[in-house]
Structure 1
C-alpha cells in the first residue's frame, strides 16, 4: 500500500476495487486524439479506474475518504456494464495496518455515487448493515437529500441499500465543515449537485482531494469535464478555482480513481514536481 505524509496527516491507499469505463464518457467532449495521449485505453476504448479509499490518519483519528466499490452488491449485469474487474478488499487492507472497520472514526464522503458509497454497507442474510458502524459519516446536505430522493437521472447511482442502513450515522453539512484542525470538506457541486472536495493545510503543507472534479491526473486541464458530470460548467469553474489555489501552495493532489498515480504535487505554473506512483497489477 502506498503512503504519503503531508504535515501531520498520513495518507494510505486501500484496495477498494477496479472497473473499466468508456474513455469518451470519462473525458466528455474532449477528443480521443487528445485524452488518449494522457491516459491509456484498451481495445474497447475503456480506461482503468480504481475505487480506492484513502485512510487519513490525523490527530489520533482514523478517517476514510470514500468507501470503495463494496462486495457482492452488484448484479451480474451491473458488473458487466460497469466493467468491474475487482471488488473491494478494505478489510484485508485495514488488517495489514492492524485495524478493522470498527476502528474508523469518520467517513468523509465526497459524494454518494455507487462507486464511492457501495462500501458503506454490506449484505448480511437478507438485509444490509453498516460496515463502519462506529464512524460519523459526513456528506453535504445537498448530496444526502438527493441520495434519498433521486431524480430520473441519479436513480441509477443513488441506491437505498447504500443509505438506509447508515442514515443514523450521517452528519450532513451546508457549504463547508471543519473535520479537524486544518482539514475541511467543501461543497463544490459540479460532478453531482452535492459533490465535495477536501482541503488540508498545515503551514507550508497542503493537499487537495478533488474527488471526481479531477478523478485522474489526466484531468488536470481545467476545461476537461466528465460526461457523467451533472453540472459540467460548475465543475470547470470549481476546478479552475481549486487548481489555482493549490498551485500557489504547491499542494499535493490526491486521487481515488487514478490507476497510475496516487498523488501529484504541482508548482505555481502547474508543472509536476513530485509524485506517488501506484504499484500496478495487470488485469
Structure 2
C-alpha cells in the first residue's frame, strides 16, 4: 500500500475496488483525441477509476476519506455497467496495518454518490449494517438532504441502502467544518449540490483532496469537467480558484479515483514536481 508521511501524520491508500467508466462521460465535452493523451482508454472507451479510500492516522485517530465501492452491493447488471473488476478489500488493507473496521473513528464523505458511499454499509446475515460501526460520518447538510430525498436525476446514485443503516452516525455541516486541527471539510458544490473538498495543513505542508471536482490528474484543466456534474459551471469556477491557490502554496493533491497517481504536486505551469504513483 502506498503511503504519504508528513510529520506525525500518515496517509495510506486502501484497496476499495476498481470501476471502469465511459471516458466521454468522465471528460464531458472534451474531445477524445485530447483527453486520451493523458489517460489510458480501453477498447470499450472506458477509463480505469480506483475507488480507494485514504486512511489518515494522526493524533491517535483513524480517519477515513471516502468508503470504497463495498462488497455485494451491486447487481450483476450494475457490475457490468460500471465496469467493476474488483470490489472492496478494505478489511485486508486494514489488517495489514493491524486494524479493523471497528478502529475507524471518523469518516469524511466529500459526497454520497454510490461509488463513494457503497462501502459505508455491508451485508450481515441478510441485513444491511454499518461497516464502520464506531465511526462518526461527516458530510455536508446539502449532500445528506439530497441523499435522503434525491431528485429525478440523482436518484440513480443516491441509494437508500447506503444511508439508512448509518443514519445515526451522520453529522452534517453547512459551509465548512474543522474535523480536527488542520483537517477541514469545505462545501463547494459543482459535481453535486452538496459536494465538498478536504483541506489539510500539517507541519507546514498543505494538502487538498478535490474529490470529483478533479477525479484524476488528467482533469487538471479547469474546463475539463465531468458529464456527471450536476452544476458544471460551479465545478469550473471552483476548480480554477482552488488550483491556482494550491499551486501557489506548493500543495499536495490527493486522489481517490486516479489509476496512476495517489498524490502529486504541480508547479505554476502545471508540471509535476513530486508524485506518489500507484504500484501495479
Computed over aligned residues only, the root mean square deviation of the Cα atoms, in angstroms, reads: 0.9
User: Residues 175 and 186 of structure 1 are in contact (CA less than 8 Å); yes or no, is this contact kept in structure 2?
Assistant: yes
Structure 2: how far apart are the matches of 1:202 and 1:259?
A: 26
SS at match of 1:86: coil
After TM superposition, give the deviation of residue 6 of structure 1 in Å: 2.7
Structure 1: how far apart are the matches of 2:177 and 2:33?
A: 40
Structure 2 counterpart of 1:278 = 278
After TM superposition, give the deviation of residue 9 of structure 1 in Å: 2.3
Structure 2 counterpart of 1:52 = 52
Q: Deviations over 1:57-84 (max 9, x none)?
A: 1111000000000000110011111111
SS at match of 1:84: coil
Structure 1 counterpart of 2:218 = 218
Structure 2: how far apart are the matches of 1:200 and 1:9?
A: 10
Structure 2: how far apart are the matches of 1:244 and 1:28?
A: 22
Structure 2 regions of 5+ residues with no counterpart?
none
**Given the alignment of the two structures, is residue 4 of structure 1 paired with residue 31 of structure 2, yes or no?**
no
Structure 2 counterpart of 1:242 = 242
With structure 1 as the length reference, what TM-score do the two structures score?
0.97
After TM superposition, give the deviation of residue 183 of structure 1 in Å: 1.0
Structure 2 counterpart of 1:259 = 259
**1:1-283 to 2 correspondences below 5 Å:** 1-280=1-280
Aligned residues: 280
SS at match of 2:133: coil
After TM superposition, give the deviation of residue 203 of structure 1 in Å: 4.9
SS at match of 1:79: helix
With structure 2 as the length reference, what TM-score do the two structures score?
0.98
Structure 2: how far apart are the matches of 1:14 and 1:243?
A: 26
After TM superposition, give the deviation of residue 123 of structure 1 in Å: 1.1
Q: Deviations over 1:260-280 (max 9, x none)?
A: 110011123332100000012
SS at match of 2:111: coil
After TM superposition, give the deviation of residue 151 of structure 1 in Å: 0.5
The range that moved more, 209-218 or 125-134, is 125-134
After TM superposition, give the deviation of residue 30 of structure 1 in Å: 0.3
User: Residues 53 and 67 of structure 1 are in contact (CA less than 8 Å); yes or no, is this contact kept in structure 2?
Assistant: yes
After TM superposition, give the deviation of residue 124 of structure 1 in Å: 1.5
